Copies of this chain bind each other. A is one copy, B any other.
Amino acid sequence: MDKVLDFIFKRRSIRAYKDTPLSEKDIKSLLEAGMASANASNRKPWHFVVVDDRAVLNELADTHPYGGMLRNAALAIAVCGDTAISDWWVQDCSASTENILLAATALGLGAVWIGCHNRIEREDAVRKVLKIPATVGVLSLISIGYPDETKRARTQYSEKKVHRNNW
């Protein structure tokens, strides 16, 4: 129980990676975690583009203003949502992204959430590189690899953010 909470606190943005590929087993675990997240009316609007082709990773790095770490990542996952299936896809795919980040932490991997949706030029650029249909939103890119930096577990708990029974 406390171990699970520990992993929630251990999840940090990791942008430096060792030159070690991920196993297919771990890739599947990450995707299973992504598909186990809470989502509105269980419509599961998500799709995942798994990228391990170095040329495509480099192209994504060139494309996204905060994507430089993809050049050294073993893997990227683009978390996408079919806008025709659910208009809750942004929230659903955000929960899915968080699940994948936590699963990565649990598997001894390092990962970071690279925001796409909410900046139309970033979303469109990634859509173009990965040939994602126009009706599908691109919520995030997740950059993943074996960590080559360490960060301490933390909560950023602050009493000021807590209200009781009303604001």
Alpha-carbon separation in the docked complex, A91 to B115 (Å)? 9
Q: Which residues of A come within 8 Å of B, CB atoms?
A: 1-5, 7-9, 11, 13, 28-29, 31-33, 35-38, 40, 42, 44, 46-53, 56, 87-88, 90-92, 94-95, 97-99, 101-103, 105-108, 113, 115, 117-118, 129-133, 136, 139-140, 154-158, 161-167
Q: List 27 A-B contacts (CB under 8 A).
A: A4-B7, A5-B107, A8-B36, A8-B103, A32-B155, A33-B155, A36-B154, A36-B155, A38-B97, A40-B115, A42-B156, A47-B161, A47-B167, A48-B161, A48-B162, A49-B167, A50-B164, A51-B165, A52-B164, A53-B165, A56-B166, A90-B90, A91-B117, A91-B139, A95-B95, A129-B166, A130-B165
